[in-house]
Amino acid sequence: MVKLRDVAYKAGVSTATVSRVLNNDTSVSIETRKKVEKVIHSLNYIPSRTAQRLRHQQKKSNIIGIVIPDIQNPFYIDVLQGIEDTAYDNEYAVLASNFSQSEKREKLYLDILKSESVDGLIAAPLDEHDETIIELVKRGLPIVCVDRGLNDIDVDAVVVDNFKGAYDATKLLIDLGHRHIGFISGLIRIPTSRQRLDGYKQALQDFGIDYDETLVKFSDSKRDSGQQLTKELLQMKNPPTALFTGNNLLTLGAFESIHQLNLNIPNDIAIVGFDDMYWANSLNPPLTAVSQPGYEIGRRAAEMLFQRIENNDRPTVHVVLKTKLVIRRSCGS
């Protein structure tokens, strides 16, 4: 690695002068400046940001870290895109990491992120008690939570009204005449999964339908289990006439399963899924879905993070965004 000293040596000046050239200090003669710049170029020299940061210690790195549960999930892609666009507008780069819902992987990443001196972090905590993230908040690292908040500590968060979203979806199916509605839940450890389950239950209750626990399946939020559990539901002696899936991967798994069994959506089984996708229209049939504003979540979170980086003392903010029920053919209209 070529360093400032090398440049100074080759240019026959002191390190101070090179530094002055780099920082556009006025008190360098034009000839010296030109000479130094030439050497900088010829050696392909790039200043070390680490050393710069150490020297005057509060120079920003202009990097923010993102810790995302699952990059295969289009919803998080939207969030990421929102963050990324906003970051770009603010001259930040994004250190994104996908920890595939794995606690160990999350730890590794956060360890590395810690030592990378990111200016801030946008994270979806594993659950409301995620210790690794709580520790980082305590240390004073600017953090904004997305999708899920933290219980034991005051922290910025951008979330969605999952309860309402699930309630609306279930109510739609009830309004369409269904009384036997299956639900495939995501990882129950995750707060959003619980809120969606609660919304489902509440809707049933409000319309006088008894909660039937055989109709509710708990998954690891992944597509394969969506497929498996849908199959199990459909092969019951008294299968549900409608299905509400807890996230988009589960929805895709359910579609797969239903097509394999040669059943018709919505005639044999109606479907509403949590999470819309931009190609939902091209599915067979087009999917009725609870749409989360993923891009908006990302954008808001990034904005809040940049504010907090500027001023870490401002009071914490919780933003709750609304979901929207997008009705297409899979629910039978």
Partner DNA sequence: AATTATAATGTAAACATTTTCATACAATTG
Partner DNA sequence: CAATTGTATGAAAATGTTTACATTATAATT
Taking the least distance from each CB to a copy of itself, the nearer of 91 and 313 is 91
From DNA, a copy of itself, none, which one binds at residue 61 (CB under 5 to 8 Å depending on kind)? a copy of itself
Taking the least distance from each CB to a copy of itself, the nearer of 171 and 223 is 223
Provide, rounded to whole angstroms, the least separation between the CB of residue 97 and DNA.
23
Calpha distance 229→246 (Å, rounded)? 12
Provide, rounded to whole angstroms, the least separation between the CB of residue 132 and DNA.
20
What is the helix (H) or strand (E) element at residue 145, kind and residue range?
A: strand 143-146
Calpha distance 230→254 (Å, rounded)? 5
From DNA, a copy of itself, none, which one binds at residue 223 (CB under 5 to 8 Å depending on kind)? a copy of itself
> Is the peptide bond preceding residue 191 cis, with omega within 30 degrees of 0?
no
Provide φ and ψ at 84, rounded to 5°.
Answer: -65, -45
Beta bridge partners of residue 290, listed in sequence order: 274, 325
Kindly list the residues in this chain that would bind a copy of itself in the complex (CB under 8 A). 1, 44, 46-54, 57, 61-63, 71-72, 77, 80-81, 84, 88, 91, 93-98, 105, 108-109, 112-117, 135, 138-139, 223, 252, 255-256, 259, 278-279, 281-286
Provide, rounded to whole angstroms, the least separation between the CB of residue 140 and a copy of itself.
8
Provide, rounded to whole angstroms, the least separation between the CB of residue 232 and a copy of itself.
19
Kindly list the residues in this chain that would bind DNA in the complex (CB under 7 A). 1, 3-5, 12-20, 22-23, 26-29, 31-32, 45-48, 50-52, 54-58
Does residue 184 contact residue 222 with C-beta atoms inside 8 Å? no
Provide, rounded to whole angstroms, the least separation between the CB of residue 135 and DNA.
17
Calpha distance 38→239 (Å, rounded)? 77
In which residue are the tokens 């509403």 written? 272
Burial of residue 258, with CB atoms counted within 10 A of its CB: 0-12 exposed, 13-18 middle, 19 or more buried: buried
